[in-house]
Structure formats: structure tokens, C-alpha cells
Amino acid sequence: MKQYLIYHCLLLACCCCITAAQGQSVDALSPFSMGELQAHLPDAQTAILCYVWGDSSLYIAGLSRQHSSQLRLPLSDSLHQRISQLCQWVAQPPAEAAAGAAVHDFATLAYGLYQEVVAPALEPVQTGISRLLIIPDGPLRYLPFGCLLTRPLSPNQQADFATLPYLLRQFELYHAAGPHFWEDQKPAERRAFSMFGAFTPHYPPQQASSLPHLPPGLQLLPLSAARQQETEVLADLLQGYVFREETASEAGFRRYARRFRLLHLNAYSLADDSLPDVGGIFFPLSDTSTHTEWDGPLPLQEIESLRLRAELLMLTNHQCRRGPQPTGAGMARFVQALHTARCTSLGLNLWQTDEQATTLLMQAFYTQLKQGSTKTHALRLAQLELIDQKKYASPYFWAAWVLYGNHQAIDFGNVWGYLSLWGGGILLLLLTSLLLRMWKRSRQ
């Protein structure tokens, strides 16, 4: 509850900035000082960038333990266009023939957006900061902040994607969809016993786009062999389980998902700006269906009632429908539903990425998690590994992946701790029963 109030105070402080610009006193309106807000930040290494996308202005607040910044930017069609242009640019596979020109075109766009929507709030608060919690709003929910550039390129400078000064090089990044995600910093009330479960559904090709329950234009194409192999490799790495065919269905997910702390889901999922409640996770057959019957989608309203125990749910086939005028409503609704389902962290892709690059990134990410890294640190290192390979240095390959919710590390030893506790309890009950029987025999 305390963190929930802090978030609202931050928004109030941001709104007070607006009021102050209109000639009214901030101190007279805000019941909390910036000092009180700073004292309740997650840690001294984290700064917050909070955005409120209004009708005619963009309000931004930056906050660290020692510093704060607030500003208001007038909205323009140009800002809308440049955000959409960058989102469309990074979602397209890079063309090798135009690599040099492409780098400079991208750099101009990415640095310009950094200067406009990030630098004014970040630079006053970034001293001693290694992690950014971004609370986006409106079209900024689809902006891959990690690939924005912190320095410009000179017109004659030779550069490639592997050497660009991405924001990711300076900071770990994670997101929050709203005030409810502040509660993710608390440990889970009840953890699952098993560590890793992966779901790899079977999508029959003849039913990819002909089913009545599918939103228009959504195609459930069969998963490639590489995507299926990815889950096998991850399960071996984490000594987990892979659900395939009938068990990787809506019914199977409902039955087995609560057993795992890490969920890796290759099923299709959708966030739709124009119809936010239409989003969900789209499974094929249940374990009781024939190959001509589908369960239909797992809609957001039903997701909210699942009561998962996942400390991380990773979605690798997510689709975002921004529409001609992105509002971010679809993404906000989708993330909120997973949080309500008690999934404390959510990882997903903002666009469809290269399969081989995704496999490499996931292997590196989970390896870092297993070694004790925080989720944000693990994702950052995995993305930097791809950049260093040059073949995958373009933001198309790595910048799509974002984290929402809790950034903290996962204690892989806790699973065995819980099993030992249960095993010890059962052993104690057996020993007590044996002693009771021996005592009864001695009395006869």
C-alpha cells in the first residue's frame, strides 16, 4: 500500500509541475515533499522516469534518491510520427545492402527521441544510477527505450550497429504499467515448488486463420522446429519441464501453470489498442480435444482469475496492434491482467523477432538468471551479447524484449528448500507414527 501511494504521489508531483507552470504553487497542492518520495525509492541505484501523455502535452518526472526533475512538453504531430517511425523501423529486418546509410538514419532518429523525451528528465537525476524504472504512457508504451542513443553521430563518422551508444549500455531497464506494479517489490506470498515450465503448443496449419474466435488478422501459424528446440534447451539448462501437443493447451496451462516459478510460453498472445479487452493468450487444442476442435482464446478476463505463482512469465510470441493512432491501452490492459493473475514479472516482445537471435538471447538470459543476476541485469547482459556478435547488433534482433514488474533476482535454491521442508515434515510424521505404535505395543 505504501508503494501504491508513492506512485500516486509521483503522478501528483508531475501534475503539480503542470500547475506550477500555470502560475500556481506546487507546495500548496502536494501533500508529500520530493524528499519523502525519494526516501521510498526501491534503492539508491534506481531512478524513475514517469510519463503522462495528455491531450496536448507530455508530462515527465524524473526521480532518484538525491535529485528530481519535472517538465512539460507540448505534443506535436512530429513527435507522434517520429515515435511511430522508430517503432516501425526497428521492427523490420535490416537490409545489409544499405547498412551504412541505415545506421545513420537510425542514429538520427534514436538520438533525437532521446534528447526530447528522455534526456531532460534523466540527466538531472542520473548520477550514481545504474537502473531505470520507466513508467510509460500513451504511444511510449511501444517505444524500445533501450535502443535510444545517448550521443549523436557526426555526418562523416563510420559506425555500425555494434558500436552505437545505446541507452542500454548505461542502464538496466524495466517497466511498470501502473501503480499496481509497485507491489511487485514484495516477495510472493506463496511460491510454487517447481522452477521452470515451458509450453510449446501445436498449431495445425489448416486452422491458422479460419477460426471464429480469432481477432481479425491474427494468424496462429505452426511453430518452427527451432522454436520448439529452444524450449528443450532451456528445460535442460534449468532442469525443468516441457509441455507439448495436447498438454500445451489452454486446459493444460490452467492445470499445470501454477506449479512453476518460471513460465516460458511459446503460445501466441495479443495486445490490441483499438479493442483492449480482445487481447489474451491463444492456445490450440486441449488434452481432451480432437484435432478439429479448439478451446478458443484465454481472454484477459479469464487470465485475471488464474492465480499463478510465477515470479516470471516470458512470452515469446507476443503481438502488439498499435493502430494508426497508438494509445498504449492494449498493452496496459494486457500487463494489468497478468499482474492481477499474480505474475510478479512479465517479459515479452514488442514485435516479431528473428528466431535464431531469440533462442540465443533466451539462453543467455536464463543462464544469467540461474547464476544469480537480477532479471534486469540478466536481460541487459543477454542483449549486449547479441550486440557484440555484430550479426545481431541491429535493434531489430534484441531491442524488442522488455520486462514489466519485479526486477529482483530469483532464488534457485529456494525450490530445494521448500522440498526439504516438506520432506522433513513427512519424515517427522512417519517417525511420530512409528513411535506411537511402538508405545502402544509396549502398553499391551
Q: pLDDT per residue over 385-415, tens digit each?
A: 999 998 999 999 999 999 999 999 998 875 4
Contact, 286 vs 232, CB < 8 A? no
> Cβ–Cβ contacts within 10 Å for residue 418, how many?
14
Q: pLDDT per residue over 315-357, tens digit each?
A: 999 999 887 788 899 999 999 999 899 999 999 999 999 999 9
Domains of the chain: 2-175 (no CATH), 190-412 (3.40.50)
163's enclosing H/E stretch is: none
pLDDT of residue 210: 55
382 three-state secondary structure: helix
Note the Cα 299 to chain centre separation in Å. Answer: 19
Those residues with Cβ within 8 angstroms of residue 81's Cβ, 6 or more apart along the chain or in another chain? none
How many CA atoms, within 13 angstroms, populate the side-chain half-sphere of residue 414? 17
**Cα distance between residue 112 and residue 133, in whole Å:** 21
How many CA atoms, within 13 angstroms, populate the side-chain half-sphere of residue 60? 22
Return the C-alpha cell found at 163: 558500436
Those residues with Cβ within 8 angstroms of residue 425's Cβ, 6 or more apart along the chain or in another chain? none
| 87: nearest Cα among 331, 300, 269, 267 | 331
Q: pLDDT per residue over 27-74, tens digit each?
A: 332 434 566 667 778 889 999 999 999 999 999 999 998 899 999 999
